[in-house]
Amino acid sequence: MEATHNTTQQVKSRILPLIKTHHELIAAIISGIFIGLGFLLPTYAPPLFITAYLIGGYAKAKEGFIDLFINKKLNVEILMILAAIGSAIIGFWAEGAVLIFIFALSGALETYSKNKSEKELTSLLRLQPNEATLLTPDGEKIVPVTDLKINDIISVKPGERIPADGVVKRGRSSVDEAAISGESIPVTKEKGNEVLAGTVNMNGVLTISVLKEQHDTLFQRIIDLVTAAQDEKSTTQQFIEKFEGTYVRIVLIIVFFMLFLPHYTFGWSWQETWYRAMVLLVVASPCALVASIMPATLSSIASSAKKGILLKGGNHFETLASLKAIAFDKTGTLTKGRHEVVDVITRDGFDEKQFLQAAASIEKQSTHPLAVAIVRYTEKRDIPLLPVYQFSDVPGLGVQAVIDGKVWKLGKQEFVAQNARFKDIEVAQLEAEGKSIIFVGDEKGIAGIITVKDTIRDEAKQAIHSLTNAGIYTVMITGDGEGAARAISQEAGLDNYLANTLPEEKLVEITKLIEKYDRVAMIGDGINDAPALATANIGIAMGGGTDIALETADVVLTKNNLTRIPEAISISKKMNRIIKQNIIFSITVILVLIASNFMQVIDLPLGVIGHEGSTLLVILNGLRMLKP
């Protein structure tokens, strides 16, 4: 008995959600069955057709009346309801029932198509793990992800999704970051590497220190942005929706005159006059026009999100397609935002390993970005550091310390060895290349130099090249000095650069660009970029940037990949083409059907098929944006 009860419960748990999801389609099919029975059993046709009306038309009638009486809006559902009722009044029960059936079936298929777009967007929600394995002094403990705090230590086994943003403390593994970046190739993660919530640990156990609580993770930001994007309508969509109510009123006025004018003007019979008025209600309905935009927009947002491009609304897609200029911040945008050692040059006969060992041992005591770069460079080469004594920092000049009884200095040339030259190296030339120079000296003079540079992102050149080929003007606006700005600009292939600009000056420069090019985007990642991001027609933030930059921007590149910018522009142009195709097609079909109705060459069922068929075609055309 209990087994039977459990089986019944399992069947209910499977069937009820299916019925709830596809109730419109089920109602349409049942309506179609009653229509079929009405044709097969003419004696019982009237009650069978009435049943078909009630079952097939209930959902759309409810929707129409809610809009009419509660929201005080006219919509296309009202036109269909009136057409079906009018058909019944003049005795065309079968035609009215067929109208209801095709309209209900079309509505069900339209809902399915819309759900398919939204499913692509909401699938992100299922990628967020609900639980995490927390490492405690008493051993492993399974806890909700929402309970994780900063600096908690968690364990992630092979095949599991990483539950929080963090840094690897122990272990080595490949991590699939496709959910965040759209890249299909797994990335190797080991001690010191950052990992992101929602990504998949492929092999090996990772011990991770939590860096952010759940509501602050990049993955949660992505979910929030995508959810908000679904509700943000494009300018064209807003216009069409406002236009719908006015259009329906115009159709109703025309239909009112159609109810009697053709009888007196063209000599049509009263039955033919009313019938043609009912057909006009159907074929003049703007269903296809209304559906021309939203499926394409939602599909575009979904497709972009899967590729690591998050747009906060469909209106930004329209702007992206018309960009004429893009301004870039330098540090953290065009460059990696992390200084790296470029050159290590020692005096003749000085062992490079010993040179780096001494330099890094002293710089280990400093938190300056250049010092951190030298230490990181040395540690990667497994060069052990030495004990340091009498360390002192000379502001604006450098640092000095004692190693093995010898005094070492690091910093500017005049601090390390005044008036001394080193291998005829031209400091001005190195600085013109965007490099920062650290002179290293011992008791004999200059022991060598280390050049450090904020290196350009690997994909920056490719992204700039693509934008230039697309006819978009590119410029870098940075607070850095002339030498570094010029070097990065030339290396990236930018059209121009502006150096030594303050945050408020960036805003002024963006305003000038808008005056000249009309449609301008700004790309940045820092607090100082926020005013310019807000001023530009489109603000684009790097995913690893500051909170205020992410909040201010209209577009977020989740993995800081600049090549996604030309890709986003390409997606937006394709979306705009599809929307234009849909609008032109839907208007053409409406005009052809209206003309055919006046020429009395189509009947009501054929008019419904033409009308609903065009609606489905524009929806399916919009769903093409889901394709890679």
Alpha-carbon distance values, 522 to 162, 188, 623 (Å) = 32, 32, 30
> Distance between CA 22 and CA 258 in Å, rounded?
37
> Distance between CA 614 and CA 505 in Å, rounded?
52
Structure token pair of residue 46? 């009237």
Helix (H, G, I), strand (E, B) or coil at 454: strand
φ, ψ of residue 208 to 5 degrees: the values are -125, 140
Contact call for residues 449 and 437 (beta carbons, < 8 A): yes
> Distance between CA 347 and CA 360 in Å, rounded?
17
Using CA atoms in the order 410, 411, 417, 418, what is the torsion angle rounded to 10 degrees? -160
Sheet with 153-156: list strands edge to edge: 139-144, 131-136, 153-156, 206-210, 166-170, 194-195
Contacts 24+ apart (CB under 8 A), 465-473: 465/493, 466/563, 466/566, 467/326, 467/565, 467/566, 467/569, 468/493, 468/495, 470/566, 470/569, 471/324, 472/323, 472/324, 472/325, 472/326, 472/569, 473/324, 473/325, 473/326, 473/517
Nearest Cα residue to 369 out of 347, 392, 338: 338
Annotated catalytic residue: which of 329, 454, 480, 525?
329
Which residues, other chains included, contact 170 with Cβ-Cβ below 8 Å and sequence gap of 6+?
191, 206, 207
For residue 329, indicate whether it is catalytic: yes
Contact call for residues 517 and 324 (beta carbons, < 8 A): yes
> Distance between CA 334 and CA 562 in Å, rounded?
8
Q: Residue 37 burial by CB count (10 A; 0-12/13-18/19+): exposed, middle or buried? A: middle
Structure token pair of residue 402? 């004692």
Structure token pair of residue 87? 């058909």
Tell me whether strands 473-477 and 325-328 are parallel, antiparallel or unpaired.
Answer: parallel
Nearest Cα residue to 521 out of 504, 503, 534: 534
Sign of the CA dihedral with 410 first, then 412, 415, and 421 last: positive
Q: How many other CB atoms are there within 10 angstroms of residue 314's CB atom?
A: 27
Q: Residue 259 burial by CB count (10 A; 0-12/13-18/19+): exposed, middle or buried? A: middle
Q: Give the number of C-alpha atoms closer than 13 A to the C-alpha of residue 440, restricted to the C-beta side.
A: 24
Structure token pair of residue 3? 């087994």
> Distance between CA 385 and CA 206 in Å, rounded?
28
The three-point CA angle 99-587-585 to 5° equals: 95
The distance in angstroms from the start CA to the end CA of the chain is 52
Give a three-class secondary structure readout of 156-180. ECCCCECCCCEEEEECCEEEECHHH
Residues carrying an active site annotation:
329
